Every structure is written in structure tokens, then in C-alpha cells.
Homo-oligomer: A and B are copies of this chain.
Amino acid sequence: MEVVVISIDEESRIIDDMMDRIVKRKLSPGEKLPSENELADEYRVPRMTVRNALTKFEERGYIYSKQGKGRYVKEASIPIQLSLTGRISFTDKMNQMGYDLMTSNIYCEKMDYEMEVYQKLNADEHDSVYRIGRLRYINGEPIAIHNSYVNESSFPEIKEDGPEIESMFAYYRKQGFSDFTSRKTMLSITFPTSKEQQLLSCKSMVPLIKVESDCIDIESKQVLEHTKILYRSDKFKYDITMD
């Protein structure tokens, strides 16, 4: 009889085990992990295997390492419960939940032509579309990048106003619009580019939740903006309850 050995990836096994130790509180936040050599002996694998596993684990954001010292368990951040369902603005949502929200404008620039975005704005290829980026902080931590795409032909002063806008809704109201709706909201997962890693001060393997939507003036049916928000997935839990 032949014995079939199903090879389970050693690295994944180590990550599983580390995860288990953390959730079972055998390893608490701030505590030092066993050294690479100790773990290598324990799992009977070369140090490099342990090392690769721990590097992956680090990039997911669960531990951090210091050369010459060791690896440590990160403080677990309590997930912020975010409701994706309501039609209220991000700012209002967060204030409602009692979070200390801060916003900083990071850019307001003319974007290069991109079919997908232009189409959604009903923009002509020769229109100027501005991308307004804001970084959202909660309790001082950057947690989301909020991109708004706005057609200059709809808002001629957007180039000047853009760098000052905190809430787009407030801006639209000032421009004479009052009731808003949106067509479709799509959710997908991406990884941060190096720029996004810097802005969100996160590692390359922290998944981002990308929420794409738009904002339409109910009265004129005009598309005011297209939005693309990138949330750090390790900081949130989303309530997507229907009612």
C-alpha cells in the first residue's frame, strides 16, 4: 500500500500556530516572540522557513521586529464598526459613533484621462477632471483615503476650492444642491501601492477595502462626483445589515 503524504506548507503551519497563540493569549500584545532559532528547533525546520513565515505575519500587521532585539506582538486594535448601509456622509457617520475624526487634504490635481472614471462622470475626453484626496484619521491614526473625482465643467472653481474641502456634501450644498442619491456602490479588495502604504502608514500586505460609488443630485439627475474610498481592512468591521 502506498502512503500519500499531503504536504502542508510549513510556513502556513507556523503562521497558523502563531495566530493561535495570539488568540489563545499564550502570547499577549507587547510580548516577545521566541527567537527565530528557537522556533526553528521547535518546528524542526530551517531558520529561513521560520523567518519567511514571520516576515509574512509581520506584513499582515500582527507583529513587528527590531534588529538585535526580537519580534513583538502588536497591540490589537479594536475594530471600528462602520456602517456601509446608510446614506449619511462619512464625517457624520464617524461623529455619530463618537470617534475622534480628523481630515487632511492631501492633493487636488487634474487627473490623467481614465476611461472608467470619465464614463461614470458622463465626462467628455477633453473635460478636466480633478481628483481630490483626503486622508481620514481616527484617534490620530490614518485609516482611509477618500478620493473624489469632480468634473471641472460642473464645478468651475474646483481647482481653487478643492484643497480646502473637508466634506464634499457641505460643498455641494453651498453650490446650491440639496438632495443627493447614488447609483451603485461596489466593494472590492486591493493591496496598497507604496504611496498608499506611506499615507496609511501600513505594511504592503494589509488589504484595503475599496468602495466605489458616486453622488447624484436628485433634482437635476446630474452626476456630481465619483468616489473611491480605500479603508484599512485591519481597522474596520463593516455592518452591511439590510432593513
Contact = CB atoms under 8 A, between A and B. Distances in A.
A194 B8 contact: yes
Interface in A227-243: 233-234, 236-242
Nearest to A10: B194
Contact of A197 (B12, B60, B85, B188): B12
Given A188-B238, A238-B186, A194 B87 contact: no
A240 B213 CA distance: 10
A184 B19 CA distance: 27
A166 B9 CA distance: 30
Interface stretch (A27-35, A94-102, A130-138, A204-212): A204-212
Contacts of A154: none
Contacts of A46: none
Contacts of A191: 60
Contact of A79 (B188, B204, B211): B188
A11 interface: yes
Nearest to A8: B194
Contact of A198 (B8, B60, B238, B241): B8
B185 A242 contact: yes
Contacts of A45: none
B185 A13 contact: no
Contacts of A211: 240
Contact of A242 (B19, B87, B209): B87
B56 A204 contact: yes
Q: Which of A11, A12, A87, A234 has the most CB of B within 10 A?
A: A12
A189 B204 contact: no
Nearest to A187: B238
A13 B198 CA distance: 12
A15 interface: yes
A28 B233 CA distance: 29
A125 B35 CA distance: 38
Given A185-B239, A187-B238, 17 more contacts: A12-B194, A16-B193, A60-B191, A79-B188, A85-B240, A182-B242, A183-B241, A184-B241, A185-B242, A186-B239, A187-B239, A188-B236, A188-B237, A189-B189, A189-B234, A207-B207, A211-B240
